[in-house]
Structure 1
């Protein structure tokens, strides 16, 4: 079967453009791939056009709008997920404006679709006591429990994203003074994270127990399952949720509902902020591209301080009415301004 123009340029986008020209990470390429697969699935199910028969004339602004609605209604995707899929499609159609301008008007029309407004998700994090309680949950008399405790400890210590932790291998750990962890983050950006002496000790002990200090083990997964395969994002998420549930049964006041791997990253960032570490240092530690992203922790910390001040305030409440309330009304008061 003859290859369609759509298939030709989609292949160029996924292989040549994203990887070779832009140098996007494997995870970013996978996210873009998943968005395209969902669009192809929609075209097959809703319009009976199989992937190998799709032509550019089949892709219209109206169908992209319907696709986004399908994601929410049929796939039950959140608004943030819907927006992420649209962002991936925007990248593809922006690529097409230069590579296949025959349908330029349609591509520009699709690119004009806006991101849908959604509520900012709540930042869920643990206090120091909450982290200690979570770390106390794994059964360290068992090998799996020891692995899980080191996993949780390291996630908090380095504030790593779940995929960053899943991708760790022994060669990225330098047991110098201080010990350093090399993390490859979003967009293949690399950052060096110092590891505390207590964390270094338990990490080295864990690696010794699992044969990860041997020369031939430098590229083995740091955290693996019973088959020796590296833990996946879903596997790590399941581990965190399992222990957070048991910890919450012990003390729900310090273990909020909805704890995820990213909560440990938030927890470390909040403790750094509360310790008055410079916000630019926190940005670099977390690997944020912009300090604007990091400022969310400063805003949360300031709100907590303000609420604490209000709770401990001894200032008597005023019983005196505002000037305008003692007049005939707000309008009369406003009109009287500047006349005296």
Structure 2
């Protein structure tokens, strides 16, 4: 047997890895949405443009060895400093690169050390903004905002139910007329995930809105959707 027959196949080129990553891995194997694939593509376009400017190499001549932690960190700093990206956007670009690197490591085992070093670039921590809340007066203003037509009254009831019960929108929409008890102790039976049920007391103001809604829709039966 000749020495050429013992020769190991050459590892895939960087261009081949990128093409396989998008054409096979993301779209076929992981079946990601077109929007996610587009976001990954945008991250790569930005990174390849930056790498070309820094290394003076075209994308077709790059190799995995060029994807050093220093280059990746410089790219991420460039996104924040020059493109004014938020930390969240920076981390999203990094996530795209990391996903590619993990894929490349499975296709080219000779680059495991290079990939391991590049994967050591951490996500940047940031403080999440605190969620604010509406005061009672502000919430009442929101509830009272819908108009007097059918859709406006339905939206008013939906907002009142959500505010009163703290229910998910899916729970509120699933309430049937028979789930509502208006007397003697007003409450609504909510059906949540996993067939979980709970009963929540209703305020007098909510009862008033429900009574007005039922009067507005006299054809509703106990099995009808309350907000139908």
Q: 1:104 offset after TM fit, Å?
A: 0.6
Cross-structure match for 1:47 = 55
Cross-structure match for 1:198 = 151
Structure having the higher Rg: 2
Cross-structure match for 2:81 = 73
Partner deviation per Cα, 1:59-112 (whole Å, 9 max, x = no partner): 212111111111111111111111111111111111111111221111111222
- Following the alignment from structure 1 to structure 2, what is the Cα–Cα distance between the partners of residues 64 and 277? 44
Cross-structure match for 1:86 = 94
| TM-score normalised to structure 2 length | 0.56
- Is 1:20 the counterpart of 2:28 in the alignment? yes
Q: 1:51 offset after TM fit, Å?
A: 2.0
Q: 1:14 offset after TM fit, Å?
A: 0.7
- Pick closer, same or farther for the CA change 1:279–1:57 going to 2, 3 Å: same
SS at match of 1:23: coil
Partner deviation per Cα, 1:209-230 (whole Å, 9 max, x = no partner): xxxxxxxxxxxxxxxxxxxxxx
- Following the alignment from structure 1 to structure 2, what is the Cα–Cα distance between the partners of residues 94 and 132? 53
Cross-structure match for 2:141 = 129
- Cα root mean square deviation, aligned: 3.5
Q: 1:131 offset after TM fit, Å?
A: 7.8
- Pick closer, same or farther for the CA change 1:12–1:280 going to 2, 3 Å: same
Preserved CA contact (<8 Å) 1:273 1:279: no
- Pick closer, same or farther for the CA change 1:110–1:279 going to 2, 3 Å: farther
Misfit runs of 4+, over 6 Å: none
- Following the alignment from structure 2 to structure 1, what is the Cα–Cα distance between the partners of residues 54 and 163? 49
| TM-score normalised to structure 1 length | 0.39
Q: Which one of 97, 117, 120 corresponds to residue 105 of structure 2?
A: 97
> Paired residues, what number?
152
- Pick closer, same or farther for the CA change 1:274–1:119 going to 2, 3 Å: farther
Gaps of 5+ in 2: 1-11, 173-192, 194-228
- Following the alignment from structure 2 to structure 1, what is the Cα–Cα distance between the partners of residues 84 and 15? 28
Q: 1:125 offset after TM fit, Å?
A: 7.2
Gaps of 5+ in 1: 137-196, 202-267, 283-290, 292-340
- Following the alignment from structure 2 to structure 1, what is the Cα–Cα distance between the partners of residues 69 and 128? 27
- Following the alignment from structure 2 to structure 1, what is the Cα–Cα distance between the partners of residues 60 and 37? 21
